[in-house]
Homo-oligomer: A and B are copies of this chain.
Amino acid sequence: MIDCDVHNDWASAEVLLPYIDPNFRDYLVRGELPGPRGAFPHAHRPWLHPEGFRRHDIKPATQEEHYTLMKEHLLDRYGHDVAILTGEEALEVSTLANPFYATALARAYNDWLIDYWLPKDQRFKGSLIVAPQDPKGAAAEIRRLGHHPDIVQVLMSSGSYRPYGDTFYHPIWEAAAEVGLPVAVHLGGQGGVNYNPIGCGPTTFFWETHAMLCQTGMSHVASVIAHGIFEKWPDLYFIVIECGVAWLPAILWRLDADYKALRKETPWLKRLPSEYAQDHIRLSTQPLESPENRQHLWAVLEAMDGKNMLLFASDYPHWDFDNPHQIPIPAGWRENVLDLNARRVYKRLPQSVNSGQSAVGS
């Protein structure tokens, strides 16, 4: 079983001090922080989770316990074969005005990931976090570390300055294609230099906002398709993590209809938006929608070929964690969604299913 969204946190952002570019080390040691010493430099979003966004039953007291509790409460409990680490606050570098500082922080995080986390457990695979507001620096970082055998994707926050198909970001896509990594977005980056993540301006409450953050996934899906990312780099996948899934059919139907009417705007496209999505876009399951009538969800998942489009994610250790034994998908889809689909997209994973998969295979 492959879990595509596991958060490897730090006890304090000071773990980055040995790794950060000396030119920026002083910023972290003496510079302004959005919290006490040990806080990570970023522009926090204006929506504050009224319960805190972490599970209250998981309380690591030391840096080491971030791993040991994860091993006990996630990896060993559910029989994970692979846990793809997606960082935690490091994604928020996308909110900083200074792109050079943002890239320095992302580089320090990536070195810490490779040095501290990846060797800890054979089940770990890593995401290379980049600062999208610095496409040149992000591309350099992808070329610096993107060939590491345990790095499986490039990761950016879904909150952004522009939708990611924009030509501004093409150096990032080009570098990812060059090193053979898929590009993913994960919920985050909803503040600072980034545009409001939701259409029509700031929402008010956390729950309202959290529900609406699926719009970030929609905007990027539309943008990467329209800009022809998959014509320019036909081997790339784009993975949308933690933005929900059931909105996809409606969005693709709209994109197909509008593209058919006005395709002259994007002459580089050769296929329907929904066809690019089918071959190049994947969504992680968590938080999977869960209506009272499960048949309603399944009809929507069927319409988007969920059996082949979905990648299981738990979002451990966050408040809305999904238990792999309980996600509401048809029984016959479990092997695909919990395992095979991820192996197709994350090409550095072993391509055969090992014995651990049986733990969730029914």
A-side interface residues toward B, CB under 8 Å? 49-51, 158-163, 165-166, 194-208, 210-216, 218-220, 222-223, 225-227, 244-247, 249-251, 253-259, 261-266, 287, 289-291, 293, 296-297, 299-300, 302-303, 319-320
Contacts and interface: CB of A to CB of B under 8 A. Distances in A.
Contacts of A208: 222-223, 225-226, 255, 258, 266
A99 B259 CA distance: 36
A121 B201 CA distance: 39
Contacts of A201: 160-163, 194-195, 219
Contacts of A290: 253, 257
Contact of A203 (B200, B219, B245): B219
A211 B257 contact: yes
Contacts of A254: 210-212, 214, 244, 287, 289
A202 B165 CA distance: 11
The 4 A-B pairs of least Cβ separation, nearest first, read A195-B201, A299-B299, A246-B250, A199-B215
A162 B200 CA distance: 6
A249 to B, nearest CB: 6
A251 B262 contact: no
A4 B249 CA distance: 25
Contacts of A257: 211, 287, 289-290, 320
A211 B255 contact: yes
A175 to B, nearest CB: 21
Contacts of A162: 200-202
A265 B206 contact: yes
A264 B49 CA distance: 11
Contacts of A166: 204
Given A165-B204, A197-B200, A210-B262, 10 more contacts: A50-B262, A50-B265, A163-B204, A204-B223, A205-B226, A206-B265, A212-B218, A249-B300, A256-B291, A299-B300
Contacts of A212: 199, 218-219, 222, 251, 254
A241 B339 CA distance: 42
A110 B267 CA distance: 42
Of A210, A222, A253, A257, chain B has the most CB atoms within 10 Å of the CB of A253
A341 to B, nearest CB: 20
A246 B255 contact: no
Nearest to A255: B211
Given A195-B196, A222-B203, A291 B303 contact: yes
